[in-house]
Amino acid sequence: MSDIASLFEPMTIRGMTVPNRIVMAPMTRSFSPDGIPGEDVAAYYQRRGEADVGLLITEGTTVGRGGASNDPRVPNFHAEQALKGWSNVVEATHKTPAKIGPQLWHVGMMRQPGTGPEPDANSDSPSGRSHTGSQVQPEPTESEVADMVMAYANAAGDAARLGFDCVEIHGAHGYLIDEFFWGVMNTRSDRYGGGLVERAKFAGEVIAECRAQVGADMPIILRWSQWKQQDFSARLAETPAQLEAFLKVFVDAGVDVLHASQRRWWEAEYPEVDGEQGLNLAGWCKKLTGLPSITVGSVGLSSDFIGSFQGEASKTQPISLAVERLARGEFDMIAVGRALLQDPDWAQKIKEGRHDELADWDSASLAKLY
């Protein structure tokens, strides 16, 4: 294991100082009946905050649109009782050194009609198209799109009011915001459609409206990805030049951190430019914008998230390479998902050099995770 000092250096982003560079990645667990996070959810985050995780990003929590959720056990971020539950989560986490932010989420067309806590609601989308391009419902009006934007913004405002330290906007993995990015699903002819930069406008408006609600001191994080659950090979930006123009929309809108999701964090994003050991997606985000970036994708494990739940072996792996690349400034923070989901003391074990206590991922244990 390489020198881990850089992993445990504090970092300040706007009005938030995190004690180290370890981020708990958002992970859906469906442990919130009726969309309300209970005392067990508060304890879940508090325990990881007590064990040297610097920044906790909550599991995806859905914004106030009827079709935002496909699971009534996924927490929401708009109903009174749910917000009260999240207030308890903040209070519990702030008993630890960790900072915490909610991940604001809308599943978009990943929701099957008739599912979720509001089964009669429509499934929101940019154009009413499926991931294959089939027209399956009417294209939303500009007014309806504006309501989608404000659902995120209102949730961000609630997060600030409840005392969260930051907010993360989920713009990755084939969900609603990512569907606006994707030309297959976004065929609009108005200001939200067109080329890649134009298709980024919806997310830009979400960021700007969130900034208006949270004020000047609260960091806004955008999580995004090239890949989609619907198509692992999908790519939004084929070249660094395209990526730079795309990211500029979010920079101009007021985003603070880019959380760049890859299935395998160590893979070079543009190997044709800088080789097989070149910058990963988070590295390119930082290089092209100057903003802090978070890398994520199978950190500490040998296989990706999808593969592990399909039975692929996922062995514990050293994080020395990730720490080396962090130390040389390729990215600024490292997000850890399954390893922290399974073992709340993972970060503490890394800090104390207890590597022999790290366990392989066991998806069969998911039902009892806390």
Q: Is 301 helix (H, G, I), strand (E, B) or coil?
A: strand
Q: How does strand 11-13 pair with strand 16-18?
A: antiparallel
Q: Count of CB atoms within 10 A of residue 119's CB? A: 14
- Assess contact for 233 and 198: CB atoms under 8 A: no
Is 175 annotated in the active site? yes
Closest CA to 353 of 318, 324, 321: 318
**Phi, psi values for residue 300, rounded to 5°:** 80, 0
Q: Is 316 helix (H, G, I), strand (E, B) or coil?
A: strand
- Name residue, tokens 């504090």: 10
Q: Is 13 helix (H, G, I), strand (E, B) or coil?
A: strand
Query: Can you point out the beta strands (E) in the chain?
Result: 11-13, 16-18, 22-24, 55-62, 99-105, 167-173, 220-228, 257-261, 293-296, 333-336
Query: Helix, strand, coil proportions of the chain in percent (round to 5)?
Result: 40, 15, 45
Tell me how far apart the alpha carbons of residues 213 and 209 are, in angstroms, rounded to a whole number. Answer: 6
- Spatial CB neighbours of 185, under 8 Å, sequence gap ≥ 6: 109, 125, 126, 127, 129, 130, 131, 133, 179
Left if phi > 0, otherwise alpha if psi is -120 to 50, otherwise beta: which for 113? beta
Active-site residue among 45, 152, 175, 270?
A: 175
- Give start and end residues of each alpha helix (H) in 122-269: 142-162, 176-181, 196-199, 201-214, 240-253
Tell me how far apart the alpha carbons of residues 171 and 104 are, in angstroms, rounded to a whole number. Answer: 9
The single-letter DSSP state of residue 112 is P
Active site residue ranges: 175
